[in-house]
Amino acid sequence: GSTADDVMNRLWVNLAAGLPAMFGFTVYSSIDAAWDTGCIPFPSSRERIRGGHAVCAVGYDDDLIITNPHNGQSTKGAFLIRNSWGTDWGDNGYGWLPYDYLYAGLADDWWSLIESTWIDTGEFSV
């Protein structure tokens, strides 16, 4: 298995090269705070898990600070994500997920499609 640092280093390289990364993350009640801004706060210890969700990381910002309105805790550094909840969510369908989700094991199953030949695009009428 890869460490969180290994995954992070690969993500920085791939995202900087324009290769998006799909992944899943645990959704907590504080996600409600992200509806207008797309800035998903790192959950406090008192929050309830609502489920899981898959998104696509398309960029990053090492200096972005996101504060959880429930406990005032701030995180620095986040992935720019494309959500599937429509353009009314976040910033026209985009948002930010703190790096701390990766380091805390709350974001996993990261993968990028490097070669289009790895998919039988005929299955999708493409």
pLDDT tens digits, one per residue of 67-124? 999 899 999 999 999 999 999 999 999 999 999 999 999 999 998 877 766 666 666 6
- 3-class DSSP assignment, residue 93: coil
Domain boundaries, the chain: 4-112
Instruction: Give pLDDT, residue 25.
Output: 98
Other C-beta atoms lying within 10 Å of the C-beta of residue 28: 22
Query: Which two three-digit tokens encode residue 125?
Result: 């009428």
How is domain 4-112 classified at the CATH fold level?
A: Cathepsin B; Chain A (3.90.70)
pTM for this model (two decimals): 0.88
Contacts of 112 (CB under 8 A, 6+ apart): 14, 19, 20, 21, 22
